[in-house]
């Protein structure tokens, strides 16, 4: 059964860029921003999976995804400025944050830069860590990304231009092909019609302009993020499946450097566990 947002809209930011967002769920419930994975978008009809926990859910296309304009030269921390401006337009003084996979760093950025406005942070299947966070950070990067670290620092625009030609990106060009990249523990998503539909819709919208937004974001994550994990004073809850192909060492690294962080391990779950654990996450954050 189709699930549509209550509002699907764009705002024009102060610098002239367009930022796309959608609102879902109960308008009177506590507000929760959700930051999508990669590829992904504001299109997130999670209720299709049977999720019922009430929340005023606000989903946002990060720059270069969906209907949001690119933001060349931005750092991870810059995302907080976009979210603050959108929250002001929506008259939201305080709100919680949730980030899935590559959306996690951007949730942390908002918490670091807007401590007086963020109530709680939730990170599911956190896949990236700040490469400048200290001893051991670079070693935890996936090898294909570690190889690009120097180039991302010295010639980011060249890397954004040329990297998409490499085989690394081939599986992301078509949302249906992304399921071929999933490990065995996550293959339930491909077989579950509702869960599959949620991901396909989100990815298809996110890739409406191609993979350039995703590539630019990967380069951004290899550069300094613009904040330290110790800058975050808001409580941060992490969830991670012990069968996730992303090693547990990455969320453990994050928790070890947060002032108030807690890691919850999902037994037998993979990277897509969020799709059937959504109510658990919302309950914790709201």
pLDDT at 267: 98
Tokens of 197: 């539909």
| Rounded-to-integer distance, Cα 130 and Cα 145, Å | 12
Q: Do residues 62 and 36 touch, judged by C-beta distance below 8 A?
A: yes
pLDDT at 2: 60
pLDDT at 248: 97
| Rounded-to-integer distance, Cα 61 and Cα 205, Å | 9
Q: What is the gyration radius of the CA atoms in the chain, in angstroms?
A: 17
pLDDT at 173: 81
* Main-chain dihedrals φ then ψ at residue 207, nearest 5 degrees: -100, 15
Tokens of 54: 């009430």
Helices and strands, number each (H, E), in the chain: 11, 8
pLDDT at 168: 84
Q: Is 90 exceeded by the pLDDT of residue 170?
A: no
Helix (H, G, I), strand (E, B) or coil at 246: coil
- Kindly report, residue by residue over 22-72, the tens digit of the pLDDT: 999 999 999 999 999 999 999 999 999 999 998 999 999 999 999 999 999
pLDDT at 231: 96
Those residues whose C-beta lies under 8 Å from the C-beta of residue 116, and which sit 6 or more positions away, are none
pLDDT at 1: 47
| Rounded-to-integer distance, Cα 130 and Cα 228, Å | 8
Helix (H, G, I), strand (E, B) or coil at 169: helix
Q: Do residues 254 and 137 touch, judged by C-beta distance below 8 A?
A: no
Q: Do residues 125 and 103 touch, judged by C-beta distance below 8 A?
A: no
Q: Is 80 exceeded by the pLDDT of residue 14?
A: yes
- Kindly report, residue by residue over 252-261, the tens digit of the pLDDT: 999 999 999 9
Architecture of the CATH domain 7-285: 3-Layer(aba) Sandwich (3.40)
- Kindly report, residue by residue over 116-129, the tens digit of the pLDDT: 999 999 999 999 99
- Calculate mean pLDDT across residues 227-252: 97
- Indicate yes or no: pTM above 0.95: yes
- Kindly report, residue by residue over 123-169, the tens digit of the pLDDT: 999 999 999 998 899 999 999 999 999 999 999 999 999 999 998 88
* Main-chain dihedrals φ then ψ at residue 100, nearest 5 degrees: -110, 130
Q: Do residues 32 and 286 touch, judged by C-beta distance below 8 A?
A: yes
- Kindly report, residue by residue over 181-226, the tens digit of the pLDDT: 889 999 999 999 999 999 999 999 999 999 999 999 999 999 999 9
């Amino acid at each position: 059964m189709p699930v549509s947002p209550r509002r699907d809209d764009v705002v024009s930011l102060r610098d002239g860029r367009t930022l796309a967002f959608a609102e879902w769920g109960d308008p009177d419930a506590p507000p929760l921003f959700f930051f999508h994975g990669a590829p992904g978008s504001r299109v997130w009809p999670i209720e299709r999976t049977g999720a019922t926990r009430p929340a005023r859910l606000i989903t946002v296309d990060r720059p270069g995804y969906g209907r949001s304009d690119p933001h060349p030269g931005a750092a991870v921390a810059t995302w907080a400025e976009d979210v603050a401006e959108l929250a002001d337009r929506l008259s939201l003084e305080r709100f919680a944050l949730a980030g899935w996979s590559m959306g996690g760093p951007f949730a942390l950025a908002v918490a670091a830069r807007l401590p007086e406005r963020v109530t709680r942070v939730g990170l599911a299947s956190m896949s990236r860590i700040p490469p400048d966070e200290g001893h051991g950070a670079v070693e935890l990067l996936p090898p294909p990304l570690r190889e690009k670290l120097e180039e991302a620092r010295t010639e980011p625009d060249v890397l954004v231009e040329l990297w998409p030609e490499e085989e690394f990106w081939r599986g992301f060009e078509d949302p249906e092909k992304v399921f071929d990249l999933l490990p065995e523990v996550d293959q339930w998503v491909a077989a579950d019609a509702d869960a599959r539909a949620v991901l396909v819709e989100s990815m298809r919208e996110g890739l409406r302009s191609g993979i350039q937004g995703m590539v630019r974001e990967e380069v951004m994550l290899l550069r300094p993020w613009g904040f330290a994990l110790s800058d975050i004073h808001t409580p941060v809850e992490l969830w991670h499946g012990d069968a996730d192909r992303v090693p547990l060492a990455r969320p453990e690294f994050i928790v070890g450097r947060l002032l108030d962080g807690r890691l919850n391990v999902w037994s037998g779950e993979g990277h897509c566990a969020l799709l059937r654990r959504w109510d658990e996450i919302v309950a914790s954050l709201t």
